[in-house]
Amino acid sequence: MAKTTRKTAPVSNHPPVELAIVGSVGLDTIETPVTLKERVLGGSASYACAAASFFTQVGMVGVVGTDFPKRYLNLYRQFGIDTDGLQIQKGKTFFWSGVYEQNMDHRSTRITELNVFADFCPELPPAYRTAQYLFLANISPDLQLHVLSQVKRPRFILLDTMDLWINVAKESLLKVIGKVTMLTLNEHEARHLTGEHSLVKAAKALLMLGPKYICIKKGEHGSILFTRKGIYLTPAFPLEVVHDPTGAGDTFAGGFLGALARSGLVSESAIRKAMTYGSIIASFGVEAFSLDRLKKLSLPEIETRARLFRKMGSVL
């Protein structure tokens, strides 16, 4: 194996990191029924960090190659994201290419090139290890466990996963699920992991594994929060046009955790309110490709849509 060099992307001094996010950083080529965008910024860490940055100081843990465009590093700084945890290794950045069907509900992958992401080993800078909130985005469960071995008693840990890890690393996945506060996954993954078709039964089985909260994502239909006390529904904000749903789940997760960190609470009511903000941020994110909508977004716009969202859901 060729020798690689590892360094981090330097940033100016930031306030203490309240939320650490560990995930992928990549370049995406995305085709929709009307548009093709080539090599735009992507990856779970990119979406989640950008979404969280509206509410709290967030630190990114990921890896890119030496081909990673400087304009994207500058964009992270524009969001105020701390990139001390972003490794830069000799080689090419993770690349993904996909195409969406006419209804934008389903997509197929054309190309996946792991590149430097194949040998990614997340190492948290000292300032990240004391972060009170942690998002373990969709990476190998063994890497997620490695991250957990570095942190010092965060108040809230959110975990994401996917079918691949259920198939090839279930034992490690079950181990990491037992160590987190909340597990988020889509309805197919919940059924696959538990063997239960009913989402209520699936959520009960997942709660038995250790988390206090289970968030099952239902795409354009929102999400469902399951606790040992009950069930809470968060619809998706209704939109006339969706330009790019890529990263919507990670945007939701980042917005949710950012809002939760801003509240300073981890109660069930605070979690419910934070999920509303996650849904709102995700609704903005899908209005354009990559982070193009988020980079033009302001907190007053978020709060305005949040008030409208709450009004839509009021019961007379």
d(CA 285, CA 155) in angstroms, rounded, equals 27
Count of domains observed in the chain = 1
Mean pLDDT, residues 95-106 taken together = 88
Q: What CA–CA distance (Å, rounded) separates 148 from 134?
A: 9
294: domain range?
Answer: 6-307
Q: What is the pLDDT of residue 9?
A: 57
Per the domain annotation, does 280 fall within a domain? yes
Q: Which two tokens stand for residue 3?
A: 């020798």
* Angstrom distance (rounded) from CA 33 to CA 11: 38
What pLDDT, on a 0 to 100 scale, did the predictor assign at position 4?
Answer: 39
Per-chain mean pLDDT for the chain: 93
Residue 78 is assigned to a structural domain of this protein: yes
User: For the whole model, what pTM was predicted?
Assistant: 0.93
**pLDDT at residue number 53:** 98
How high is the pLDDT of residue 164? Answer: 92
**For 232-287, what is each residue's pLDDT tens digit?**
999 999 998 899 999 999 999 999 999 999 999 999 999 999 999 999 999 999 99
* Residue 118 CB partners (closer than 8 Å, separation 6+): none
Indicate whether 1 belongs to any domain. Answer: no
Instruction: Decide if 42 is inside a domain.
Output: yes
Residue 12 in this model has a pLDDT that exceeds 70: no
241 located within any domain: yes
Contact 214, 187 (CB under 8 A): no
Q: Would you state the pLDDT for residue 314?
A: 64
> Is 142 within a domain?
yes
Q: Is residue 314 part of a domain?
A: no
Give the pLDDT mean for 203-225: 94
CATH code for the domain in which residue 298 is found = 3.40.1190.20
Distance CA 218, CA 195 (A): 18
* pLDDT at residue 15, as a whole number: 78
